[in-house]
Amino acid sequence: MSRDPITQAMAALHASQRGFDQSQAVPFTDFLQLLRAHPERLIRNVHQVFHDMVTTYVGQGFDEYPEDPESINFIGYDFRRLFVENTDQPFFADRIFANRFMNMIDAFRGGAQQNKIFMFEGPPGCGKSIFLNNLLRRFEDYAASEAGQRYEVVWRLDRQVLGEHFDADGQPVLDRLAALLENASESGGLRDVADAHRFAPRQTFVEVPCPSHDNPILMVPKDQRPAFFDLLFENDEFKWNLSYNKEYDWVFRDTPCTICSSLYQALLHKLGDPDRVFSMIHARPYQMDRRLGEGISVFNPGDRTARTTVVSNPLLQRRISALLQDSNQVRYLFSRYARTNNGIYALMDLKGHNKDRLFELHNIISDGVHKVDEIEERVNSLFLGVMNPEDNKNVHGFQSLTDRIEFISISYVLDSATEVEIYKNIFGNHIEDNFLPRVLENFARVIISSRLNEKSPALLEWIGDPRKYRLYCDENLHLLKMTIYTGLIPAWLDEDDRRNFTAKRRRKIIAEAETEGHVGFSGRDAIDIFHDLYSAHARDDQFITMDTLCGYFVKARPDLAKQLPAGFLDSLRRMYNYQILQEVKESLYYYNEDQIARDLMNYMFALNYETGTTAVCGFTGEKLEITGAFLSAIEDRLLGTGARETRRQEFRDATQREYTSRTLTQEIMVEGRDIRETQLFADLHKRYVFHLKEKVLEPFLKNANFRRALKDYGTEDFRTYDKRIRGDVTFLITNLSDRFGYTEMGAREMCIYVVDNDIAAEFHA
């Protein structure tokens, strides 16, 4: 008979939870073993753990221009694991914010960032609360993982050693009573209720957790630490870093909390032997729990401040006093700040009660200590907050306060790639299929244009007169700025400007972002606008094109267009036209590598025959009708269309001579080369490419048949065009699909747009 479902379910649960009890405390000497095995992991303050958490989730980052000597390390970071995956609501960091954030995090490793409040300041709808929530959640995850583990002090006061009287069960009467009472009492806090379970029968010690989550290494008396660590660790790189790197200063500087210090002193006094004191010191994993306020606390403006700022535990106090037989030596008193010592204390918004909290925090940070009754408590936490710019008035004007606060701007998204990611995340990746390539990103650019400052002194100082780029960029250089914010350098910059794009200039341009993204369409606005456009125009048989996009803003929603910089839509369309023309050029040229080879081989072969004859080419296997027109068509790309008949004849003779005297007899027959590896082929190829690049758009400009064939591509009528044109059109469409992400239908539609709007002529100077 099979076991009943309840037993089975419980057994499965039991198996899944085995080994998950991290709360196991180990004696101090065992902790030292762990310390020797994992010194980098276990000797970290909260700033260092936070740094490691972020770099673990974010990784190295990606630089598009690794060889650029003027690089300012403005690189692409992948924040998906930190802010997007496994979250209730994702947060999208644009490249600007990502770099700002990573620079802040970099400084954490060095250990110089204590005694500061990091305040993220951004407008409503920029996602700053989501940012903070996701960040804290990741921190909690990381702290619970092996990579994020640290230890904290827990005392086990041995009753036998301290000479307490035991009853027949081996448990003091007082304690049994205390444990019972404590379960029903609120004053001890949740963690202490959990601790109460440890006072089960036969418990031979009183457990006193350090409320400040002190790292056990701090229990080594300060003046002894250099010698102690010198003996403990091998002479390796870590020891060197510990001794000489600033980031480890705190290891030699910080003191344990007053409870731990006074317990240590009292026990040493009573027992007279440090070994016996250390035998009562244990270490257990520091477990963070945001909901309990252990290690992480987040305060909302509406959260009332505690009636009393001092936390005590009278029952534990009584027990400690009884063991030490002196009620005044150790006072188990601490503040709420102790619970987030070595952890994170965060303010969600600077309104309501959080204003008071900020001022209180400021006093603590300025002095480094604060009073709990008459006891001084030290707090080393990571202080974080988010705020609206309008709440600045609560902070600014208090010089001493602003000195301690580091403001980090968090804005609406300023880079188009990230903005597109947001739409995809909300509406699904498939939305892209409804847009012609580049058009979705252009929608994002329209949204972003409303968020930028009108003028950019840094760009104007660099570019001078923006009108020189009027074919690709708007007068305010917003399109240039957006490209730079996305981490790219536009290909259309002239050589001088490219050269003058120095590190200093780059820093100035990126610095302008500090004051941008605080006005214009918010994140929520953008999503609403996108939804409006998408639901009105997304169809299975029809793409959203630049015409759709511009029409939407100009005709359907002039109310939105008013919020855009003047002339921006026109400039955006010009830049788009320029870009797709580049795609067309490259696609026409690219396919010709194969075509070029075939043309050249056929040409070299055909020259050995009289005109008017037919022959099968020995290289390509194609059946050639060798006529003057056949040769001229290829010569148009070797000599240019303007070449006279005599020049053509001369060229044919010279080429044929070279072919028979060297190419065929020497290189192919004697040296065994492939025709494509011969000198003649290389020379002809160079000529062909030169003329091809010059003339690549000619079919668009001069050949009405080509343009009509484009429109008829995919229809019955397409078959009526001559072979060459059909070949050219098919290769163009195929390359646009393969190289630039068009569907066949999309590529055709884009080409028709190029033809109908005469875009080749627009850029044909």
Residue numbers at the binding site for Zn ion (CB under 5 A): 210, 212, 214, 256-257, 260
Token pair 């163009």 is at which residue? 732
Q: How far is CA 111 from CA 66, 216, 251, in A?
A: 29, 19, 11
- Residue 316 or 448: the one with the smaller Cβ distance to Zn ion is 316
Cβ of residue 332: shortest distance to Zn ion, in angstroms?
11
What backbone phi and psi angles, to 5 degrees, belong to 256?
-70, 170
155 within 8 A of 162, measured Cβ to Cβ: no
How remote is the C-alpha of 252 from its chain's centroid? 35
Cβ of residue 506: shortest distance to Zn ion, in angstroms?
48
The DSSP bridge pattern shows strands 344-348 and 369-372 to be unpaired
Cβ of residue 381: shortest distance to Zn ion, in angstroms?
14
Cβ of residue 213: shortest distance to Zn ion, in angstroms?
8
User: Long-range contacts for 325-329 (Cβ within 8 Å, ≥24 apart)?
Assistant: 326/266, 329/262, 329/265, 329/266, 329/269
- Residue 281 or 684: the one with the smaller Cβ distance to Zn ion is 281
Cβ of residue 257: shortest distance to Zn ion, in angstroms?
3
- State the virtual CA torsion across 544, 550, 555, 558 in degrees, nearest 10: 120
- Residue 256 or 520: the one with the smaller Cβ distance to Zn ion is 256
Cβ of residue 214: shortest distance to Zn ion, in angstroms?
4
- Give the DSSP per-residue string, 207-240: EEE-TT---GGGGS-GGGHHHHHHHHS-SSHHHH
Structural Rg of the chain based on CA atoms? 37
Cβ of residue 199: shortest distance to Zn ion, in angstroms?
20
- Residue 214 or 474: the one with the smaller Cβ distance to Zn ion is 214
- Residue 320 or 596: the one with the smaller Cβ distance to Zn ion is 320
Cβ of residue 426: shortest distance to Zn ion, in angstroms?
47
- Residue 210 or 315: the one with the smaller Cβ distance to Zn ion is 210
Amino acid residing at 609: Y
- Please tell me the distance from the alpha carbon of residue 750 to that of residue 659, in angstroms, as a whole number: 43
- Residue 99 or 212: the one with the smaller Cβ distance to Zn ion is 212
Q: How far is CA 759 from CA 121, 466, 585, 751, in A?
A: 45, 22, 12, 10
Cβ of residue 77: shortest distance to Zn ion, in angstroms?
37
What backbone phi and psi angles, to 5 degrees, belong to 208?
-120, 105
Amino acid residing at 452: L
- Residue 259 or 581: the one with the smaller Cβ distance to Zn ion is 259
Q: Quick count: other Cβ atoms within 10 Å of Cβ 304? A: 8
Q: How far is CA 149 from CA 114, 339, 466, in A?
A: 21, 17, 55
- Please tell me the distance from the alpha carbon of residue 619 to that of residue 155, in angstroms, as a whole number: 88
- Residue 210 or 277: the one with the smaller Cβ distance to Zn ion is 210
Cβ of residue 155: shortest distance to Zn ion, in angstroms?
9
- Residue 31 or 299: the one with the smaller Cβ distance to Zn ion is 31
Q: Which of 101, 24, 755 is nearest to 406 (CA)?
A: 101
Burial class (CB in 10 A: 0-12, 13-18, 19+), 591: buried
Cβ of residue 476: shortest distance to Zn ion, in angstroms?
58
Q: Which of 128, 58, 126 is nearest to 413 (CA)?
A: 126
490 within 8 A of 483, measured Cβ to Cβ: yes
- Residue 126 or 283: the one with the smaller Cβ distance to Zn ion is 283
Could you tell me which residues come within 8 angstroms of residue 528 by beta carbon, excluding any fewer than 6 positions away? none
Cβ of residue 263: shortest distance to Zn ion, in angstroms?
8
Cβ of residue 130: shortest distance to Zn ion, in angstroms?
34
The DSSP bridge pattern shows strands 613-616 and 205-209 to be unpaired
Q: Which of 759, 728, 727, 732 is nearest to 747 (CA)?
A: 732
Cβ of residue 284: shortest distance to Zn ion, in angstroms?
13
- Please tell me the distance from the alpha carbon of residue 709 to that of residue 359, in angstroms, as a whole number: 74
- Residue 257 or 638: the one with the smaller Cβ distance to Zn ion is 257
- Residue 330 or 588: the one with the smaller Cβ distance to Zn ion is 330
- Residue 287 or 571: the one with the smaller Cβ distance to Zn ion is 287
Cβ of residue 380: shortest distance to Zn ion, in angstroms?
12
- Residue 208 or 664: the one with the smaller Cβ distance to Zn ion is 208
- Please tell me the distance from the alpha carbon of residue 210 to that of residue 28, in angstroms, as a whole number: 14
Q: Which of 110, 99, 421, 155 is nearest to 279 (CA)?
A: 155
The sign of the CA dihedral 674, 680, 686, 690 is: negative
